Structure 1
Amino acid sequence: MKKVKVVAAALLLMITILAGCSSNGEEKANGTEDGKIKIGVLYQNLQNEYIVGLQDSIRKYAKSSGVELIESDGEGKAENQISQVENLINQQVDAIILNPADKDGSASVVEQAAAANIPIITVLAVVSNEEKVTAHVGSDDVEAGIIEMKHVAELLEGKGTIGIIHGPNGNSAEVNRTEGNKSVLKDFPEIKVGAEQTANWSREEALALTENWLQSQKLDAIVAQNDEMALGAVKALSAAGKLKETIVIGIDAIPDALNSIEAGELSATVFQDVDAQGKMAVEIAFKAAKGEKVVKDNMIPFQLVTKENLGQFKK
């Protein structure tokens, strides 16, 4: 009888140990040891107000979903993101959200994540090896370029001299917004591009660039590929006393841009829904981390914002 009791006790102990091992394995397979999904986020540059808005959205929806975030700022450099993804891989994150600093330069981040079998979701901008990305969340930047240039062409009644302030050369948003800008200009031969140059999404750089342009020519409009640069142009024009004679438009509809439209300075902007983009990026990363199937391309439409419809967008 004693033998039977000993054998039964031993079997019970083995079952308990095996159950504990199984439970620990499940926890690690689905995130951290406390069962949380762990997602790494690589931002292109947190000096940019729109990217700060993206971070706010990602943090909000990660918190409501019980997701643990590990965040890094690339400071506008692809090489920073490359070293940062190595850290995320070492920390065994369950998924990565990448806001690429550069279309080609940030492609290595995707290669490394794919090699480590970690789902990677790009947001806002794309990479050159997009076929290796698990999913993309963003908006059609060609469409944004078309919307802003069409509006300018209408305001100019099809003729005039304009300046185009580009985003960072090689950034996918810059490439696609330029494509959209230029496709519209083909239909308006009397609109001439008098100057165009990058200001790297920076308000300060756009201010200095516009000041330089104004020394040598008159511009009927300035088409900036984001609001930060548009606001820099507005400041330069205002200081030179030329704001009333020059149309300025941007993209993103950041709060400062909406306030500028209300004040009669910025002519218009193109709304990009950063809250929806952040929410969708978290939702897709969460599903991918759990091994669920996700949609590859997830696009949120742009919308033109003028003084007439400002109330729909201003909180």
Structure 2
Amino acid sequence: MLTINKRNFLKAVGMGGAALLAGAKIGVAEERKYRIGLAMNATGHPFNIAMMDGNKQYAAEHFPNVEILVTDGQAQTLKQVQDVESLIARGVDAIMISPNADQPLHPVLKAAMAKNIPVITLDSAVSLPVTSKIGANNRLIGAEVGKFVTEKLGKDARIIEIQGTSGRLPTIERGQGFSDGLGGVGKIIAQQYCDYARAPAVRFMEDMTNRFAEGEFNVVYAHNDTMALGAIQVLRERGRLKDVVVVGIDGENAAFKAVAAGEMAGCWIYPACAPDGIKAAYAIVTGAGFEPEIVLPTVAVTKANVQDYLGKGI
């Protein structure tokens, strides 16, 4: 763990960090009020709801001197940029952000840090040095899913990949990791971005079941559970679910139920970064210390262990 002394903080967020140090006074952290922004890329997905509500609830219970200001990027990068600009203008003490994109956010995040506002990324990282980044290893998760598929079907795997949002690092890493895990075994025969949303995934899977006859694909890899559940809906309606291995990521309760019912082969839990986000933000603004990177653990939920997780997801 890093303590917030001048050397370490300047290394993490740049020369502007000195002003934050000046404001961190020993012994008065409990008395000062803090306003911490939470710039969500969107708020409609179960994963995002768990992130938002989990951090807000923890703050309410443990940090009564903290007000969390939540913004909704509505899955639009320009909107999220404007949200961060608004948080800067409101003079927040720190910004937690679940990025909707990578490089388009660099200028506004740099602007925040130039004003001595620490930035903590949640879930999706950005290719820019920030104060702290929190999330699981998406590439490793993707690789584990790929290995799982090859162990089940080997070279016979014919895969439809339902991707997340174009340009987001989790999408890139979950795709690259999956290819790593396949190791050249099996074949991805179709893929499409569906923005981590159920409705686009349903439409895509309807197109795929029209395009490919029974037996022409036997795996659906979705970058999150919401899209996997949409695929399951279509496959069930068209009587083709029993012949397809469906796998997803996040850890939704509905996905755990699908695994238990035999409709989904596996679900990889991706922690919702709650209360990890607010705990890190509070440590930073109060001068208690912080980690530049927090890698959250993940676990594969399959038929073998699903009973241990039913009702415990997001």
TM-score (norm 2): 0.85
1:207 corresponds, among 192, 202, 210, to 202
TM-score (norm 1): 0.85
Residue 196 of structure 1 aligns to a residue whose secondary structure is strand
**2:262 corresponds to:** 264
Return 5+ residue gaps in structure 1 as ranges: 1-24
**How many angstroms does 1:314 deviate by?**
1.8
**How many angstroms does 1:108 deviate by?**
2.8
Letter in 1 for 2:100: A
Measure the CA separation in 2 of the matches of 1:168 and 1:68: 30
Measure the CA separation in 2 of the matches of 1:160 and 1:147: 15
**2:220 corresponds to:** 222
Counterpart check, 1:305 vs 2:304: no
* 8 Å contact from structure 1 (residues 135, 297) kept in 2: yes
Letter in 2 for 1:58: N
* 8 Å contact from structure 1 (residues 85, 109) kept in 2: yes
**2:83 corresponds to:** 84
Q: How does 1:129-278 map to 2 (within 5 A)?
A: 129=128, 131=129, 133-188=130-185, 191-217=186-212, 218-274=216-272, 277-278=273-274
Residue 264 of structure 1 aligns to a residue whose secondary structure is coil
**How many angstroms does 1:187 deviate by?**
4.2
**1:99 corresponds to:** 98
- Count of residue pairs the alignment pairs up: 282
Deviations along 1:243-301, one digit per CA (max 9) or x if unpaired, are: 00011000001111112112221211101122xx2111111100111234311110012
* 8 Å contact from structure 2 (residues 145, 181) kept in 1: no
Counterpart check, 1:286 vs 2:285: no
**How many angstroms does 1:26 deviate by?**
8.4
Letter in 1 for 2:196: W
Structure number, greater radius of gyration: 1
Counterpart check, 1:121 vs 2:120: yes
Measure the CA separation in 1 of the matches of 2:163 and 2:108: 25
Amino-acid identity (%): 28
Measure the CA separation in 2 of the matches of 1:136 and 1:98: 10
Measure the CA separation in 2 of the matches of 1:227 and 1:63: 29
Measure the CA separation in 1 of the matches of 2:193 and 2:45: 15
Deviates more, 1:140-149 or 1:103-112: 103-112
* 8 Å contact from structure 1 (residues 31, 94) kept in 2: no
Measure the CA separation in 2 of the matches of 1:252 and 1:40: 24
Return 5+ residue gaps in structure 2 as ranges: 1-22
Measure the CA separation in 1 of the matches of 2:107 and 2:255: 34
Measure the CA separation in 1 of the matches of 2:288 and 2:112: 17
Measure the CA separation in 1 of the matches of 2:76 and 2:106: 12
Measure the CA separation in 2 of the matches of 1:73 and 1:94: 19
* 8 Å contact from structure 2 (residues 143, 182) kept in 1: no
Measure the CA separation in 1 of the matches of 2:75 and 2:289: 31
Measure the CA separation in 2 of the matches of 1:254 and 1:26: 39
State the superposition RMSD in angstroms.
1.8
**1:8 corresponds to:** none
Letter in 1 for 2:116: N
Letter in 1 for 2:131: T
Measure the CA separation in 1 of the matches of 2:118 and 2:242: 50
Residue 194 of structure 1 aligns to a residue whose secondary structure is strand
Residue 232 of structure 2 aligns to a residue whose secondary structure is helix
Measure the CA separation in 1 of the matches of 2:109 and 2:244: 42
**1:51 corresponds to:** 48
Deviations along 1:6-48, one digit per CA (max 9) or x if unpaired, are: xxxxxxxxxxxxxxxxxxx989xx789x722211100111111
* 8 Å contact from structure 1 (residues 223, 230) kept in 2: yes
